[in-house]
Chains A and B, each alone.
Chain A
Amino acid sequence: AQSVTQLGSHVSVSEGALVLLRCNYSSSVPPYLFWYVQYPNQGLQLLLKYTTGATLVKGINGFEAEFKKSETSFHLTKPSAHMSDAAEYFCAVTNSGYALNFGKGTSLLVTP
């Protein structure tokens, strides 16, 4: 069965600094990978996804992620953090087509 591990349940960055949220996956077949963001008291919103093709994927709000098969990773980055980026971020994987398996989430704090 496929699964994801998000390293670091809490990440704190300064405004303007690089954001790096880590996700490693486990899958016996080529996976589909996703990053979602959840703002307080809201549902999850899709940031970006990797299906096939280009391994560097660009998403909304300036975020991007790179699929590295050799490292089984799909880390999320943003060059310059904004205060509005403070939220919970979830990495997810599927290969069955039936359901997404989510990581435990990483809470991003952005300080002035």
Chain B
Amino acid sequence: DSGVTQTPKHLITATGQRVTLRCSPRSGDLSVYWYQQSLDQGLQFLIQYYNGEERAKGNILERFSAQQFPDLHSELNLSSLELGDSALYFCASSPRSVGGYGYTFGSGTRLTVV
């Protein structure tokens, strides 16, 4: 157990739908990062939150959004889902910015859009 908790582990939904993925960071970590992993794109950075504030954006689609709550858990919202959104979505956390710490990853949410 890495200490980063992601729910649900698996999600199957239809095109056009909206889903919410949840992440609880490791105790004491203030930064949360979301990544998408697919066979063709590899690991793509989506977005980072630090202590409730958006800190950095990567290749995140406009249909996707995220937030970090006062208790530091984070949610990634995916809307108007397309088949191509099927992927593994990882959450990671670090004490502050990643710097020399590296990340601690959760076990991921596997999203299948049918």
Which of B11-19, B65-73, B76-84, B97-105 is near enough to bind chain A?
B97-105
Chain B, range 77-112, C-beta contacts under 8 Å to A: 90, 92, 97-100, 102-108
Per the bound structure, the CA–CA distance linking A46 and B29 in Å amounts to 16
Per the bound structure, the CA–CA distance linking A11 and B103 in Å amounts to 25
Contact A97 B102 (CB under 8 A): no
Q: Which residues of B contact A44 (CB under 8 A)?
A: 90, 92, 103, 105
Could you list some 6 contacts between A and B, CB below 8 A?
A: A32-B99, A34-B102, A44-B105, A45-B2, A49-B100, A102-B35
- CB of A91, distance to nearest CB on chain B (Å): 11
- A54 interfacial contact with B, CB 8 Å: no
Contact among A36, A97, A105 for B42, CB-based, below 8 A = A105
Contact A43 B108 (CB under 8 A): yes
- CB of B72, distance to nearest CB on chain A (Å): 18
Closest B residue, CB atoms, query A94: B98
Per the bound structure, the CA–CA distance linking A51 and B103 in Å amounts to 14
> On chain B, which size bracket covers the interface?
20 to 34
Residue-wise, chain A 57-73 has the 8 Å CB interface mask toward B (1 for contact) of 00000000000000000
Per the bound structure, the CA–CA distance linking A99 and B43 in Å amounts to 12
Chain A, range 14-40, C-beta contacts under 8 Å to B: 32, 34, 36
Q: Which residues of B contact A49 (CB under 8 A)?
A: 100, 102
Q: Which residues of B contact A103 (CB under 8 A)?
A: 42
Chain A, range 67-112, C-beta contacts under 8 Å to B: 90, 94, 96-105
- CB of A4, distance to nearest CB on chain B (Å): 11
Per the bound structure, the CA–CA distance linking A101 and B48 in Å amounts to 13
Contacts A44-B92, A46-B102, A100-B33 given; 20 further ones with Cβ under 8 A? Answer: A43-B106, A43-B107, A43-B108, A45-B105, A46-B103, A51-B99, A51-B100, A94-B99, A98-B48, A98-B56, A99-B33, A99-B45, A99-B48, A99-B56, A99-B58, A99-B98, A101-B45, A102-B35, A102-B42, A105-B42
